[in-house]
Chain A
């Protein structure tokens, strides 16, 4: 009876820890609305969501890889590569023949998935540690992006009617029902990912592999194939992000997406997904991406200097990981101390 109070308290703490990203997001939204009157306007929220969509789409893709016990460091480079592939096809084309938007977008996404496939093969077939394999493809993809244009930017992706290459700017610049298209894409991908993660055998397999890869294998899960697919999906998301950015700027720059992987990982961790795999959620990563995005935009709006922005972002990430450890420990303690355990009897 006597330990019921502390247990309930621990339960509440655990709940708060689990909801930490939501809490932090709420606090940030409140703080910035007070500090800047124009923060909580429909227009600004729409722009904010558009900025968040970039890291959110990356984070959703990354979540599957992390849940399965991996990580994908190559996403930023893949985003850059995808933009360059599309940019090259739209402005120079192949053999003097300039491609249409559909071909350019399709080719860019295909190249992205190929990088994911390479990641998957390296990790699941050849047994390379995910950190190393995707670090390698990070460099390969970035180098390939630079090689495509010899380091130059592809400008004027707006296209020309004569080549039938107009319309690329729709992807990043258009609105549907007053909401930017990239935001719709984020919602669509997140919804799809939540569905896959929670309602399909594939989703359960991902969690099982991250929880205990040996057990998953013994249970008959095709571990290799599942891992391969997580990397392909992550790269696909990264490719889409690269296309959105190129479309927004109407130009493709080979250095686009540098250090994006870190933002994505930060969002995933903030959202409560364990870097050890097996525990976490897509929704969490989405909220994590919003925390990072709100923080970044809010600090710009109130005019905080770049240096402090970097420090504050770092503090938030470190705090998130610390809290994550706390949650893991607390959970472990609750499991190892079942309610009806009698310490006296155990001691005897």
Chain B
């Protein structure tokens, strides 16, 4: 009994501590996860910019679970957030959550992924996945000399197949690759964005298909898994490309074990979103169209030293 009471009292004190007066308006930042370097970089950049602009910040992750995202939006409404910076949990599944937040008077800014509905969010700022995928695919073709070679077999590692970005990227890859008759895709497997899964699936695919000359991956973590698998198989000339521009991938490109990646300007997007959110609160308008598409940049060995943590060095 006494124990319970003591715990209850401590809890109350802690609550009271948290409720200490802070008059700065609250920015809620909700991203898919914080254990992925990309989402972490975008969350950190948005939070840093918000603090600079004089806001209070709370960062949460919905783990790509629309239900969890719903709860986090409710929490943002309950805690009277003024701005919601959201990397959403699904094109269609997120519409109702965004609408609810907007109705509650929160200015919602979507980053990285769009929703299909227009006119609800104040802005949707995304990187151009299609353009980025084409950039990477073109570099992939160049590195394998597929425009000249007689036949080049390659495999594709797809992201989580239910994810829109995975679909857009693979469509972008094939818009370029399918133009080259010498290129033959001998296998395609989803590795669910995961390095460990990409490692074991690539090892297996290398066994099933003899002469694989290239591996094109839907993101950098999977590309790095493929790099490890190719290394473990003792192969040297397999060309590997990824997508995202993660720091580990950029370092691997510098070392020559990976050919290219498309850097998504995550940091830039977060900063733009936060700047426009601030402008919206102050002037009632972002001054920009709702949909803003920011192009990706190709990172290869030559320019790899110019990029770090999802942004171009100044």
Chain A: residues with CB nearer than 8 A to chain B?
Answer: 36, 38-39, 41, 43-44, 47-48, 50-51, 146, 150-153, 155-156, 173, 245, 248-251, 253-256, 297, 300-303, 305-307
Contacts and interface: CB of A to CB of B under 8 A. Distances in A.
Interface in B109-125: none
B37 interface: yes
A300 B208 contact: yes
Contact of A38 (B188, B208, B228): B208
Contacts of B36: 151, 255
Contact of A47 (B189, B203, B248): B203
A306 B187 contact: no
Overall SS of chain B's interface: helix
18 contacts: A38-B207, A41-B207, A47-B204, A50-B203, A150-B40, A152-B37, A152-B40, A153-B37, A155-B248, A248-B199, A248-B228, A251-B224, A253-B195, A253-B221, A255-B33, A255-B35, A305-B190, A306-B190
Contacts of A44: 204, 207-208
Given A249-B195, A256-B196, A300 B40 contact: no
A249 B35 contact: no
Contact of B35 (A146, A251, A302, A303): A146
Contact of A306 (B189, B203, B204, B209): B189
B34 interface: yes
A249 B225 CA distance: 7
Nearest to B61: A151
Contact of A251 (B200, B205, B232, B248): B248
The 3 A-B residue pairs with the shortest CB-CB distance, nearest first, are: A306-B190, A301-B208, A44-B207
Given A151-B40, A306-B190, A251 B204 contact: no
Nearest to B188: A303
B200 A51 contact: yes
B251 A254 contact: no
A30 B232 CA distance: 27
Contacts of B208: 36, 38-39, 44, 300-303
B204 A297 contact: yes
Contacts of B34: 146, 150-151
A253 B222 CA distance: 12
A289 B78 CA distance: 47
